[in-house]
Amino acid sequence: MTVQQEHFLVPLDVYLKAGLHIGTKFKTEYMSSFIYKVRPDGLSVLNVQAINKRIETACAFLSRFSPEEILVIGKRENGWKAMKLFSQLTGIRAYPGRYHPGMMTNPQLEDFLEVKVILVTDPWPDKDAVRDAVKIGAAVVALCDTNNESNYIDFVIPCNNKGKKSLGLFFYILAREYLKHRGLIKDEKEMKIPMEEFLKED
């Protein structure tokens, strides 16, 4: 484990404490390939190495785009605080709450946005945004739990997309790695908002 741990974006125990790997009692066929085991209480446990690798790939991909080309969407309230902190750090627009259909497809709308890639915290409640992204040919990156389908998703990040701490940790890592890839910071010591702030359940 020690050798593999060196490649983790955060120490293994940080992933585990945040519950990023704890899935639901339901699993879809697509997500079953990311499941490591099923606990006695019926909850699926995701493979932490697969989560880590996928986050790493997503960070590298998203960092190819400037902040104004990306939109983060999340209807699920547990992710709102982390999304806002992520937006503050990176300048990437975050849209916590209900997505207004047409925001990416109808230039007549007041809140019309042109984007090249969207990140959704859950493709089910955020399905309107996913559909709009598909219409305009924007890439769709999605956080998917064990019960999610992968329809219309270009890149799936398997994780617990419902817990506050889990979402907080994800958005902290994404912010840090995005800023590092873009050459804006050298390491996490330069992060203006610490990890603890993302993980606080207030």
User: Quick check: 3 pLDDT over 70?
Assistant: no
The pLDDT > 90 percentage for the chain reads: 91
Name the residue among 146, 141, 120 with its Cα closest to residue 46.
146
What confidence tens digit (pLDDT) does each residue in 82-110 have? Answer: 999 999 999 999 999 989 899 999 999 99
Task: Kindly tell me the burial class for residue 42, based on how many C-beta atoms sit within 10 Å of its own C-beta (0-12, 13-18, 19 or more).
Answer: exposed
Name the residue among 135, 134, 139 with its Cα closest to residue 118.
139
User: Quick check: 176 pLDDT over 60?
Assistant: yes
User: Alpha carbon of 74 to those of 5, 167, 198: distances in Å?
Assistant: 30, 11, 16
Lowest mean pLDDT among 5-14, 49-58, 192-201: 5-14
The residues, any chain, with a CB within 8 Å of residue 43's CB and separated by 6 or more, are 22, 23, 24, 25
Confidence of residue 6 (pLDDT cuts 50, 70, 90): low
Confidence of residue 202 (pLDDT cuts 50, 70, 90): confident
Domain residue ranges in the chain: 2-199
- Helix, strand and coil percent figures for the chain, each rounded to 5: 40, 15, 45
Average pLDDT, the chain: 94
Give the span between the Cα atoms of 121 and 72, in whole angstroms: 8
Give the span between the Cα atoms of 177 and 167, in whole angstroms: 15
The residues, any chain, with a CB within 8 Å of residue 162's CB and separated by 6 or more, are 24, 76, 78, 122, 145
User: Quick check: 78 pLDDT over 70?
Assistant: yes
Superfamily of domain 2-199: Glucose-6-phosphate isomerase like protein; domain 1 (3.40.50.10490)
The pLDDT > 70 percentage for the chain reads: 97
